[in-house]
Structure 1
Amino acid sequence: MIRKLKTSVMAALCCTVIGGGLAGCDGDAMENWDPFAAATQKADADLISGTKKIDVAGQSVNVSCSGDPAQGAPVIILMHGAGDGLDKMAAVQKTLSEKNRVCSYDRLGSGASGKPEGAQSLDSTGKVLTGVLDRVAGDGPVVLAGHSLGGLIAARYAPDHQDRVKGVVLMDATSPTMLGDIKKAIPESAKGPAAEMRAQNLAVFEGQNPEMLVITDGEVRSAGNIPVEVIQHGQQYLAAIPEYGPSLEKAWAAGQRKWLALSSDSKLSTAAKSGHHIYVDQPEIAVKAIQRVTSQAANAR
Protein backbone atom coordinates (compact mmCIF):
# COMPACT_ATOMS: atom_id res chain seq x y z
CA MET A 1 0.00 0.00 0.00
CA ILE A 2 2.82 2.39 0.82
CA ARG A 3 4.57 1.58 -2.45
CA LYS A 4 1.38 2.17 -4.41
CA LEU A 5 0.67 5.40 -2.60
CA LYS A 6 4.19 6.68 -3.20
CA THR A 7 3.98 5.92 -6.90
CA SER A 8 0.74 7.83 -7.43
CA VAL A 9 1.81 10.84 -5.44
CA MET A 10 5.20 11.04 -7.09
CA ALA A 11 3.41 11.12 -10.44
CA ALA A 12 1.13 13.88 -9.18
CA LEU A 13 4.07 16.00 -8.14
CA CYS A 14 5.64 15.54 -11.61
CA CYS A 15 8.42 13.33 -10.31
CA THR A 16 10.34 10.16 -11.03
CA VAL A 17 13.23 9.77 -8.60
CA ILE A 18 16.67 8.45 -9.50
CA GLY A 19 19.31 7.52 -7.02
CA GLY A 20 22.34 9.44 -8.26
CA GLY A 21 23.20 13.09 -7.75
CA LEU A 22 24.43 15.62 -10.27
CA ALA A 23 28.11 15.79 -9.29
CA GLY A 24 30.32 16.65 -12.21
CA CYS A 25 27.45 17.59 -14.56
CA ASP A 26 28.02 20.43 -17.00
CA GLY A 27 24.97 22.09 -18.55
CA ASP A 28 26.88 24.79 -20.49
CA ALA A 29 26.20 23.20 -23.88
CA MET A 30 22.43 23.55 -23.59
CA GLU A 31 22.49 26.80 -21.60
CA ASN A 32 24.56 28.58 -24.26
CA TRP A 33 22.86 27.16 -27.32
CA ASP A 34 21.22 29.73 -29.57
CA PRO A 35 18.29 28.02 -31.34
CA PHE A 36 17.93 30.87 -33.81
CA ALA A 37 21.42 30.19 -35.12
CA ALA A 38 20.41 26.65 -36.08
CA ALA A 39 19.09 27.56 -39.51
CA THR A 40 19.48 24.02 -40.79
CA GLN A 41 16.61 22.91 -38.57
CA LYS A 42 14.14 25.11 -40.47
CA ALA A 43 15.72 24.34 -43.82
CA ASP A 44 14.79 20.68 -43.52
CA ALA A 45 11.31 21.04 -44.92
CA ASP A 46 10.05 17.47 -45.30
CA LEU A 47 6.94 16.83 -43.26
CA ILE A 48 7.37 14.37 -40.40
CA SER A 49 4.82 11.56 -40.39
CA GLY A 50 5.01 9.02 -37.62
CA THR A 51 7.94 8.82 -35.21
CA LYS A 52 11.37 10.14 -36.06
CA LYS A 53 14.52 11.20 -34.23
CA ILE A 54 15.70 14.70 -35.03
CA ASP A 55 18.83 16.60 -34.11
CA VAL A 56 18.47 19.53 -31.72
CA ALA A 57 21.78 21.22 -30.87
CA GLY A 58 23.59 17.94 -31.31
CA GLN A 59 21.11 15.98 -29.19
CA SER A 60 18.79 13.24 -30.41
CA VAL A 61 15.14 14.10 -29.76
CA ASN A 62 12.35 11.62 -30.44
CA VAL A 63 9.38 13.26 -32.19
CA SER A 64 6.02 11.94 -33.37
CA CYS A 65 3.71 13.82 -35.76
CA SER A 66 0.36 12.94 -37.30
CA GLY A 67 -2.56 14.60 -39.02
CA ASP A 68 -2.68 16.93 -42.00
CA PRO A 69 -1.51 20.54 -41.75
CA ALA A 70 -4.11 23.22 -42.48
CA GLN A 71 -3.31 26.69 -43.76
CA GLY A 72 -3.00 29.07 -40.81
CA ALA A 73 -4.07 26.47 -38.25
CA PRO A 74 -1.81 25.98 -35.22
CA VAL A 75 0.14 22.77 -34.80
CA ILE A 76 -0.76 21.10 -31.50
CA ILE A 77 2.25 20.14 -29.40
CA LEU A 78 1.62 17.52 -26.68
CA MET A 79 4.00 17.66 -23.72
CA HIS A 80 4.23 14.68 -21.35
CA GLY A 81 4.72 14.66 -17.60
CA ALA A 82 7.86 13.56 -15.78
CA GLY A 83 8.50 9.83 -15.90
CA ASP A 84 6.31 9.49 -18.99
CA GLY A 85 6.97 9.78 -22.70
CA LEU A 86 5.17 10.60 -25.92
CA ASP A 87 3.92 7.01 -26.14
CA LYS A 88 1.57 7.60 -23.22
CA MET A 89 -0.12 10.41 -25.15
CA ALA A 90 -0.44 8.37 -28.36
CA ALA A 91 -4.18 7.72 -28.02
CA VAL A 92 -5.00 11.40 -27.51
CA GLN A 93 -2.68 12.34 -30.37
CA LYS A 94 -4.46 9.89 -32.68
CA THR A 95 -7.87 11.35 -31.81
CA LEU A 96 -6.72 14.94 -32.22
CA SER A 97 -4.99 14.17 -35.53
CA GLU A 98 -8.34 13.38 -37.15
CA LYS A 99 -8.92 17.16 -37.38
CA ASN A 100 -5.57 18.74 -36.56
CA ARG A 101 -1.84 18.50 -37.14
CA VAL A 102 -0.41 17.13 -33.86
CA CYS A 103 3.13 16.49 -32.70
CA SER A 104 4.64 15.23 -29.47
CA TYR A 105 8.20 14.71 -28.31
CA ASP A 106 10.27 13.06 -25.61
CA ARG A 107 12.25 15.57 -23.62
CA LEU A 108 15.94 14.84 -23.07
CA GLY A 109 16.24 12.00 -20.56
CA SER A 110 12.74 10.73 -21.35
CA GLY A 111 11.37 8.07 -23.68
CA ALA A 112 13.56 7.45 -26.72
CA SER A 113 15.35 10.80 -26.70
CA GLY A 114 18.99 11.11 -25.76
CA LYS A 115 20.19 11.84 -22.26
CA PRO A 116 21.03 15.42 -21.30
CA GLU A 117 24.72 16.25 -21.24
CA GLY A 118 24.39 17.88 -17.83
CA ALA A 119 21.99 19.56 -15.46
CA GLN A 120 19.04 21.21 -17.17
CA SER A 121 17.06 24.31 -16.25
CA LEU A 122 13.63 25.45 -17.36
CA ASP A 123 15.46 27.73 -19.77
CA SER A 124 17.55 24.98 -21.36
CA THR A 125 14.65 22.55 -21.68
CA GLY A 126 12.75 25.43 -23.28
CA LYS A 127 15.52 25.79 -25.86
CA VAL A 128 15.06 22.14 -26.78
CA LEU A 129 11.35 22.86 -27.22
CA THR A 130 12.24 25.76 -29.52
CA GLY A 131 14.36 23.41 -31.63
CA VAL A 132 11.47 20.96 -31.86
CA LEU A 133 9.02 23.71 -32.86
CA ASP A 134 11.42 24.98 -35.51
CA ARG A 135 11.43 21.51 -37.02
CA VAL A 136 7.76 20.54 -36.80
CA ALA A 137 6.04 23.92 -37.15
CA GLY A 138 8.58 26.25 -38.74
CA ASP A 139 7.45 29.84 -38.24
CA GLY A 140 3.82 28.80 -37.86
CA PRO A 141 1.63 29.08 -34.75
CA VAL A 142 1.42 26.35 -32.13
CA VAL A 143 -0.82 25.35 -29.24
CA LEU A 144 0.99 23.78 -26.30
CA ALA A 145 -0.93 21.10 -24.37
CA GLY A 146 1.04 19.92 -21.36
CA HIS A 147 0.43 17.44 -18.58
CA SER A 148 1.99 17.79 -15.11
CA LEU A 149 5.63 18.86 -15.56
CA GLY A 150 4.98 19.26 -19.28
CA GLY A 151 2.29 21.78 -18.37
CA LEU A 152 4.66 23.74 -16.15
CA ILE A 153 7.25 23.87 -18.94
CA ALA A 154 4.60 25.00 -21.44
CA ALA A 155 3.35 27.73 -19.12
CA ARG A 156 6.87 29.00 -18.43
CA TYR A 157 7.69 28.96 -22.15
CA ALA A 158 4.62 30.73 -23.53
CA PRO A 159 5.20 34.27 -22.15
CA ASP A 160 8.60 34.51 -23.85
CA HIS A 161 7.36 33.12 -27.18
CA GLN A 162 4.10 34.92 -27.84
CA ASP A 163 5.08 35.21 -31.51
CA ARG A 164 4.46 31.48 -31.98
CA VAL A 165 2.51 30.14 -28.95
CA LYS A 166 -1.11 31.05 -29.61
CA GLY A 167 -2.83 28.88 -27.03
CA VAL A 168 -2.12 26.68 -24.00
CA VAL A 169 -3.91 23.77 -22.32
CA LEU A 170 -2.66 22.71 -18.89
CA MET A 171 -3.74 19.26 -17.70
CA ASP A 172 -3.17 19.05 -13.93
CA ALA A 173 0.02 21.03 -14.43
CA THR A 174 2.64 21.13 -11.70
CA SER A 175 2.04 24.19 -9.53
CA PRO A 176 4.24 27.26 -10.16
CA THR A 177 5.03 27.17 -6.43
CA MET A 178 5.20 23.41 -5.94
CA LEU A 179 8.55 23.35 -4.15
CA GLY A 180 7.27 25.74 -1.50
CA ASP A 181 3.91 23.97 -1.44
CA ILE A 182 5.54 20.65 -0.53
CA LYS A 183 7.65 22.20 2.22
CA LYS A 184 4.62 23.93 3.69
CA ALA A 185 2.19 21.02 3.39
CA ILE A 186 4.62 18.41 4.74
CA PRO A 187 6.81 19.89 7.50
CA GLU A 188 10.40 18.83 8.06
CA SER A 189 9.28 17.17 11.30
CA ALA A 190 7.00 14.71 9.44
CA LYS A 191 7.59 10.99 9.93
CA GLY A 192 6.88 7.83 7.95
CA PRO A 193 5.63 7.79 4.35
CA ALA A 194 4.97 11.55 4.32
CA ALA A 195 8.57 12.25 5.33
CA GLU A 196 9.83 9.95 2.57
CA MET A 197 7.55 11.66 0.08
CA ARG A 198 8.86 15.08 1.10
CA ALA A 199 12.50 14.07 0.83
CA GLN A 200 12.07 12.32 -2.51
CA ASN A 201 10.20 15.20 -4.09
CA LEU A 202 12.65 17.81 -2.85
CA ALA A 203 15.47 15.74 -4.36
CA VAL A 204 13.61 15.54 -7.66
CA PHE A 205 13.13 19.29 -7.77
CA GLU A 206 16.86 19.71 -7.15
CA GLY A 207 17.57 17.76 -10.34
CA GLN A 208 17.68 14.13 -9.24
CA ASN A 209 15.40 12.94 -12.03
CA PRO A 210 15.97 11.30 -15.45
CA GLU A 211 15.78 14.68 -17.19
CA MET A 212 18.32 16.14 -14.75
CA LEU A 213 16.00 19.12 -14.65
CA VAL A 214 16.21 21.56 -11.76
CA ILE A 215 12.66 22.79 -11.15
CA THR A 216 12.26 26.18 -9.51
CA ASP A 217 9.28 28.08 -8.15
CA GLY A 218 8.31 31.41 -9.68
CA GLU A 219 5.59 33.92 -10.37
CA VAL A 220 3.20 33.26 -13.25
CA ARG A 221 3.98 35.64 -16.10
CA SER A 222 1.40 36.68 -18.66
CA ALA A 223 1.38 35.45 -22.24
CA GLY A 224 -1.14 38.12 -23.22
CA ASN A 225 -4.70 37.27 -24.18
CA ILE A 226 -4.16 33.89 -25.79
CA PRO A 227 -6.80 31.23 -25.01
CA VAL A 228 -5.78 29.13 -22.01
CA GLU A 229 -7.63 26.25 -20.41
CA VAL A 230 -6.54 24.81 -17.05
CA ILE A 231 -7.96 21.39 -16.15
CA GLN A 232 -7.55 20.01 -12.63
CA HIS A 233 -8.17 16.50 -11.29
CA GLY A 234 -11.42 15.76 -9.50
CA GLN A 235 -10.49 12.51 -7.72
CA GLN A 236 -8.60 13.71 -4.65
CA TYR A 237 -6.08 10.91 -4.44
CA LEU A 238 -3.50 13.11 -2.68
CA ALA A 239 -5.82 13.13 0.31
CA ALA A 240 -4.85 9.49 0.92
CA ILE A 241 -1.50 10.57 2.35
CA PRO A 242 -1.77 10.17 6.13
CA GLU A 243 -2.24 13.45 7.99
CA TYR A 244 -0.89 15.73 5.26
CA GLY A 245 -3.02 14.69 2.27
CA PRO A 246 -5.75 17.35 2.64
CA SER A 247 -3.12 20.10 2.78
CA LEU A 248 -1.50 18.79 -0.38
CA GLU A 249 -4.85 18.74 -2.18
CA LYS A 250 -5.52 22.36 -1.18
CA ALA A 251 -2.06 23.40 -2.32
CA TRP A 252 -2.50 21.59 -5.65
CA ALA A 253 -5.89 23.25 -6.28
CA ALA A 254 -4.43 26.65 -5.40
CA GLY A 255 -1.62 26.03 -7.87
CA GLN A 256 -4.11 25.35 -10.67
CA ARG A 257 -5.82 28.69 -9.95
CA LYS A 258 -2.47 30.48 -10.08
CA TRP A 259 -1.97 29.33 -13.66
CA LEU A 260 -5.02 31.37 -14.70
CA ALA A 261 -2.78 34.45 -14.57
CA LEU A 262 -1.08 33.11 -17.70
CA SER A 263 -3.67 34.90 -19.85
CA SER A 264 -6.51 37.38 -19.63
CA ASP A 265 -8.52 34.77 -21.55
CA SER A 266 -8.17 31.76 -19.26
CA LYS A 267 -10.58 29.40 -17.56
CA LEU A 268 -10.43 26.59 -15.03
CA SER A 269 -12.40 23.35 -15.15
CA THR A 270 -12.41 20.09 -13.20
CA ALA A 271 -12.26 16.56 -14.60
CA ALA A 272 -14.60 15.13 -11.96
CA LYS A 273 -13.83 11.45 -12.57
CA SER A 274 -10.10 11.82 -13.16
CA GLY A 275 -6.95 11.38 -11.16
CA HIS A 276 -3.70 13.02 -12.20
CA HIS A 277 -3.56 11.63 -15.77
CA ILE A 278 -6.61 13.43 -17.09
CA TYR A 279 -5.90 12.58 -20.73
CA VAL A 280 -5.98 8.87 -19.76
CA ASP A 281 -8.85 8.86 -17.25
CA GLN A 282 -11.13 11.25 -19.16
CA PRO A 283 -9.56 11.72 -22.60
CA GLU A 284 -12.68 13.31 -24.03
CA ILE A 285 -12.27 16.25 -21.66
CA ALA A 286 -8.65 16.76 -22.67
CA VAL A 287 -9.44 16.43 -26.38
CA LYS A 288 -12.33 18.90 -26.31
CA ALA A 289 -10.30 21.47 -24.38
CA ILE A 290 -7.38 21.22 -26.82
CA GLN A 291 -9.72 21.44 -29.80
CA ARG A 292 -11.45 24.51 -28.34
CA VAL A 293 -8.20 26.32 -27.71
CA THR A 294 -6.86 25.39 -31.16
CA SER A 295 -10.03 26.65 -32.84
CA GLN A 296 -9.92 29.92 -30.88
CA ALA A 297 -6.28 30.39 -31.74
CA ALA A 298 -6.95 29.79 -35.44
CA ASN A 299 -9.87 32.23 -35.50
CA ALA A 300 -7.84 34.92 -33.76
CA ARG A 301 -5.31 35.08 -36.59
Structure 2
Amino acid sequence: MAGGGDGLDKLADLQKTLSKKDRVCSYDRLGEGASDRPDGLQTFADSGRILTAVLDRIAGDGPVVLAGHSLGGLIAARYAPGHQDRVKGLVLMDATIPTLSADISKVIPESATGQVAELRAQTLAVNEGQNPEKIVIADAEVRSAGDIPVEIIKHDKQYDSVPEYGPALERMWSEGQRRWRAISSRSTLGTAAGSGHYIYVDRPDLAVRAVQRVTAQAAGHGGRPTR
Protein backbone atom coordinates (compact mmCIF):
# COMPACT_ATOMS: atom_id res chain seq x y z
CA MET A 1 0.00 0.00 0.00
CA ALA A 2 1.77 3.10 -1.30
CA GLY A 3 1.98 6.44 0.45
CA GLY A 4 -0.04 9.52 -0.39
CA GLY A 5 0.70 10.90 -3.85
CA ASP A 6 2.20 7.60 -5.03
CA GLY A 7 0.77 5.03 -7.39
CA LEU A 8 1.29 1.28 -7.34
CA ASP A 9 4.10 1.70 -9.88
CA LYS A 10 6.25 3.11 -7.07
CA LEU A 11 6.09 -0.33 -5.41
CA ALA A 12 6.91 -2.29 -8.59
CA ASP A 13 10.45 -3.30 -7.64
CA LEU A 14 9.46 -4.36 -4.13
CA GLN A 15 6.50 -6.31 -5.48
CA LYS A 16 8.62 -8.02 -8.13
CA THR A 17 11.13 -9.20 -5.53
CA LEU A 18 8.51 -10.44 -3.08
CA SER A 19 6.50 -12.18 -5.79
CA LYS A 20 9.32 -14.67 -6.35
CA LYS A 21 8.08 -16.48 -3.25
CA ASP A 22 4.51 -15.35 -2.66
CA ARG A 23 1.46 -13.86 -4.28
CA VAL A 24 1.73 -10.08 -3.94
CA CYS A 25 -0.91 -7.52 -4.93
CA SER A 26 -1.01 -3.74 -4.87
CA TYR A 27 -3.67 -1.24 -5.90
CA ASP A 28 -4.21 2.46 -6.57
CA ARG A 29 -6.55 4.07 -4.06
CA LEU A 30 -9.07 6.59 -5.35
CA GLY A 31 -7.20 9.69 -6.47
CA GLU A 32 -3.91 7.85 -6.97
CA GLY A 33 -2.32 6.36 -10.07
CA ALA A 34 -4.80 5.08 -12.64
CA SER A 35 -7.82 5.01 -10.31
CA ASP A 36 -10.78 7.37 -10.56
CA ARG A 37 -10.78 10.69 -8.73
CA PRO A 38 -12.97 10.76 -5.62
CA ASP A 39 -16.19 12.77 -5.91
CA GLY A 40 -15.73 14.40 -2.51
CA LEU A 41 -13.97 14.08 0.79
CA GLN A 42 -13.17 10.55 1.94
CA THR A 43 -12.80 9.12 5.42
CA PHE A 44 -10.82 6.13 6.65
CA ALA A 45 -14.11 4.21 6.61
CA ASP A 46 -14.45 4.95 2.88
CA SER A 47 -10.89 3.83 2.23
CA GLY A 48 -11.53 0.72 4.30
CA ARG A 49 -14.57 -0.25 2.25
CA ILE A 50 -12.48 -0.04 -0.92
CA LEU A 51 -9.72 -2.12 0.66
CA THR A 52 -12.29 -4.72 1.68
CA ALA A 53 -13.56 -4.89 -1.91
CA VAL A 54 -9.99 -5.30 -3.18
CA LEU A 55 -9.30 -8.11 -0.72
CA ASP A 56 -12.59 -9.81 -1.56
CA ARG A 57 -11.58 -9.79 -5.20
CA ILE A 58 -7.98 -10.98 -4.86
CA ALA A 59 -8.01 -13.13 -1.74
CA GLY A 60 -11.60 -14.15 -1.08
CA ASP A 61 -11.87 -14.93 2.59
CA GLY A 62 -8.21 -15.97 2.83
CA PRO A 63 -5.70 -14.42 5.25
CA VAL A 64 -3.57 -11.44 4.18
CA VAL A 65 -0.57 -9.45 5.32
CA LEU A 66 -0.76 -5.70 4.69
CA ALA A 67 2.47 -3.84 3.99
CA GLY A 68 2.12 -0.07 3.84
CA HIS A 69 4.31 3.01 3.49
CA SER A 70 3.47 6.42 4.96
CA LEU A 71 -0.27 7.08 4.42
CA GLY A 72 -0.63 3.52 3.12
CA GLY A 73 0.75 2.30 6.43
CA LEU A 74 -1.67 4.47 8.38
CA ILE A 75 -4.63 3.14 6.38
CA ALA A 76 -3.46 -0.44 6.93
CA ALA A 77 -3.02 0.16 10.66
CA ARG A 78 -6.47 1.72 10.97
CA TYR A 79 -8.03 -1.16 9.00
CA ALA A 80 -6.46 -4.13 10.75
CA PRO A 81 -8.12 -3.86 14.20
CA GLY A 82 -11.59 -4.11 12.70
CA HIS A 83 -10.68 -6.94 10.34
CA GLN A 84 -8.78 -9.41 12.48
CA ASP A 85 -10.58 -12.26 10.71
CA ARG A 86 -8.49 -11.65 7.58
CA VAL A 87 -5.53 -9.36 8.39
CA LYS A 88 -2.93 -11.65 9.95
CA GLY A 89 0.14 -9.40 9.83
CA LEU A 90 1.33 -5.85 9.22
CA VAL A 91 4.49 -4.17 7.99
CA LEU A 92 4.44 -0.42 8.60
CA MET A 93 7.19 1.47 6.79
CA ASP A 94 7.47 4.99 8.24
CA ALA A 95 3.69 4.99 8.56
CA THR A 96 2.04 8.35 9.13
CA ILE A 97 1.87 8.79 12.89
CA PRO A 98 -1.48 8.35 14.70
CA THR A 99 -2.05 11.98 15.77
CA LEU A 100 -0.02 13.97 13.26
CA SER A 101 -2.22 17.09 13.26
CA ALA A 102 -2.16 17.51 17.03
CA ASP A 103 1.52 16.61 17.27
CA ILE A 104 2.77 19.01 14.61
CA SER A 105 0.60 21.76 16.08
CA LYS A 106 2.42 21.27 19.39
CA VAL A 107 5.89 21.16 17.87
CA ILE A 108 5.40 24.11 15.52
CA PRO A 109 3.40 26.89 17.23
CA GLU A 110 0.76 28.89 15.40
CA SER A 111 2.96 31.95 15.89
CA ALA A 112 5.72 30.45 13.71
CA THR A 113 6.69 32.32 10.56
CA GLY A 114 8.48 31.62 7.31
CA GLN A 115 9.18 28.16 5.94
CA VAL A 116 8.31 26.35 9.14
CA ALA A 117 4.90 28.06 9.23
CA GLU A 118 4.33 26.89 5.66
CA LEU A 119 5.22 23.33 6.68
CA ARG A 120 2.71 23.45 9.54
CA ALA A 121 -0.05 24.92 7.36
CA GLN A 122 0.60 22.49 4.51
CA THR A 123 0.54 19.46 6.80
CA LEU A 124 -2.74 20.52 8.41
CA ALA A 125 -4.29 21.28 5.02
CA VAL A 126 -3.29 17.86 3.65
CA ASN A 127 -4.77 16.20 6.72
CA GLU A 128 -8.02 18.10 6.23
CA GLY A 129 -8.43 16.56 2.79
CA GLN A 130 -6.33 18.72 0.47
CA ASN A 131 -4.54 15.74 -1.05
CA PRO A 132 -4.99 13.64 -4.21
CA GLU A 133 -7.25 11.15 -2.41
CA LYS A 134 -9.28 13.88 -0.71
CA ILE A 135 -9.03 11.75 2.41
CA VAL A 136 -9.38 13.38 5.80
CA ILE A 137 -6.41 12.11 7.78
CA ALA A 138 -8.01 12.33 11.20
CA ASP A 139 -6.10 11.89 14.44
CA ALA A 140 -7.04 8.84 16.51
CA GLU A 141 -5.58 6.65 19.20
CA VAL A 142 -4.03 3.32 18.25
CA ARG A 143 -6.42 0.37 18.45
CA SER A 144 -5.30 -3.19 19.04
CA ALA A 145 -5.39 -5.84 16.32
CA GLY A 146 -4.66 -8.58 18.84
CA ASP A 147 -1.46 -10.60 18.68
CA ILE A 148 -0.73 -10.52 14.95
CA PRO A 149 2.94 -10.14 13.94
CA VAL A 150 3.75 -6.50 13.20
CA GLU A 151 7.03 -4.94 12.11
CA ILE A 152 7.30 -1.15 12.35
CA ILE A 153 10.25 0.44 10.56
CA LYS A 154 11.13 4.12 10.83
CA HIS A 155 13.52 6.22 8.79
CA ASP A 156 17.02 7.13 9.91
CA LYS A 157 17.99 10.40 8.19
CA GLN A 158 16.93 13.52 10.09
CA TYR A 159 14.38 15.88 8.61
CA ASP A 160 16.45 18.96 7.69
CA SER A 161 14.20 21.22 5.57
CA VAL A 162 13.61 23.42 8.63
CA PRO A 163 16.82 22.98 10.66
CA GLU A 164 15.65 24.85 13.75
CA TYR A 165 12.74 22.43 14.19
CA GLY A 166 14.40 19.33 12.76
CA PRO A 167 15.28 17.65 16.08
CA ALA A 168 11.82 18.32 17.53
CA LEU A 169 10.12 16.97 14.43
CA GLU A 170 12.29 13.85 14.58
CA ARG A 171 11.36 13.28 18.22
CA MET A 172 7.69 13.74 17.31
CA TRP A 173 7.95 11.21 14.49
CA SER A 174 9.90 8.69 16.55
CA GLU A 175 7.38 8.90 19.39
CA GLY A 176 4.56 8.39 16.89
CA GLN A 177 6.28 5.27 15.56
CA ARG A 178 6.64 3.92 19.11
CA ARG A 179 2.94 4.44 19.67
CA TRP A 180 2.17 2.13 16.75
CA ARG A 181 3.55 -0.72 18.86
CA ALA A 182 0.25 -0.75 20.76
CA ILE A 183 -1.41 -2.24 17.68
CA SER A 184 -0.23 -5.73 18.65
CA SER A 185 1.34 -7.61 21.53
CA ARG A 186 3.74 -9.03 18.93
CA SER A 187 4.95 -5.77 17.43
CA THR A 188 8.58 -4.76 16.93
CA LEU A 189 10.10 -1.39 16.07
CA GLY A 190 13.32 -0.89 14.16
CA THR A 191 15.23 1.81 12.27
CA ALA A 192 16.27 1.48 8.64
CA ALA A 193 19.88 2.64 8.83
CA GLY A 194 20.78 5.15 6.13
CA SER A 195 17.20 5.50 4.95
CA GLY A 196 15.02 8.50 4.39
CA HIS A 197 11.21 8.38 4.35
CA TYR A 198 11.09 5.99 1.37
CA ILE A 199 12.43 2.99 3.23
CA TYR A 200 11.48 0.46 0.55
CA VAL A 201 13.48 2.51 -2.00
CA ASP A 202 16.51 3.35 0.15
CA ARG A 203 16.70 -0.01 1.93
CA PRO A 204 14.73 -2.53 -0.15
CA ASP A 205 16.64 -5.35 1.53
CA LEU A 206 15.16 -4.44 4.90
CA ALA A 207 11.67 -4.01 3.48
CA VAL A 208 11.78 -7.39 1.76
CA ARG A 209 13.04 -9.21 4.84
CA ALA A 210 10.44 -7.56 7.08
CA VAL A 211 7.56 -8.58 4.83
CA GLN A 212 8.89 -12.10 4.47
CA ARG A 213 9.33 -12.50 8.23
CA VAL A 214 5.83 -11.28 8.99
CA THR A 215 4.35 -13.47 6.26
CA ALA A 216 6.16 -16.53 7.62
CA GLN A 217 4.92 -15.80 11.14
CA ALA A 218 1.39 -15.21 9.92
CA ALA A 219 1.43 -18.41 7.90
CA GLY A 220 2.50 -20.26 11.02
CA HIS A 221 -0.89 -19.42 12.53
CA GLY A 222 -2.64 -21.25 9.69
CA GLY A 223 -3.10 -20.45 6.04
CA ARG A 224 -0.82 -18.85 3.48
CA PRO A 225 -1.51 -15.12 3.33
CA THR A 226 -1.67 -12.90 0.28
CA ARG A 227 0.20 -9.61 0.58
TM-score of the two chains, using structure 1 as the length reference: 0.73
Contact 1:239/1:249 (8 A) holds in 2: no
1:287 equivalent among 177, 187, 208 = 208
Contact 1:232/1:271 (8 A) holds in 2: yes
Structure 1 residues 260-292: Cα deviation after superposition (integer angstroms, max 9, x where no partner): 000000000100110000000000000000000
Does residue 256 of structure 1 match 2:177? yes
Give distance in 1, aligned partners of 2:171 and 2:160.
Answer: 9
Which residue pairs with 1:175 in the alignment?
97
CA RMSD of aligned residues (A): 0.7
Which residue pairs with 1:96 in the alignment?
18
Contact 1:225/1:263 (8 A) holds in 2: yes
Secondary structure in 1 matching 2:33: coil
Percent identical: 68
Map 1:139-150 → 2, pairs under 5 A: 139-150=61-72
Moved over 2 A (4+): none
Contact 1:239/1:248 (8 A) holds in 2: no
TM-score of the two chains, using structure 2 as the length reference: 0.96
Matched AA of 1:208? Q
1:198 equivalent among 110, 116, 120 = 120
Matched AA of 1:246? P
Give distance in 1, aligned partners of 2:47 and 2:28.
Answer: 11
Which residue pairs with 2:162 in the alignment?
241
Deviation of 1:240 (Å)? 4.0
Contact 1:148/1:171 (8 A) holds in 2: yes
Give distance in 2, aligned partners of 1:202 and 1:157.
Answer: 22
Which residue pairs with 2:187 in the alignment?
266
Structure 2 spans left out of the alignment, 5+ residues: 223-227
Give distance in 2, aligned partners of 1:179 and 1:151.
Answer: 17
Does residue 130 of structure 1 match 2:52? yes
Secondary structure in 2 matching 1:103: coil
Which residue pairs with 2:134 in the alignment?
212
Q: Which one has more relative contact order, counting CA pairs under 8 Å at least 6 apart? A: 2
Aligned residue pairs, count: 222
Deviation of 1:245 (Å)? 1.4
Deviation of 1:239 (Å)? 3.8
Structure 1 residues 215-244: Cα deviation after superposition (integer angstroms, max 9, x where no partner): 1111100000000000000111x1441321
Q: Which has the higher strand share?
A: 1
Give distance in 2, aligned partners of 1:220 and 1:167.
Answer: 16
Which residue pairs with 2:152 in the alignment?
230
Deviation of 1:118 (Å)? 1.3
Matched AA of 1:261? A
Map 1:28-43 → 2, pairs under 5 A: none
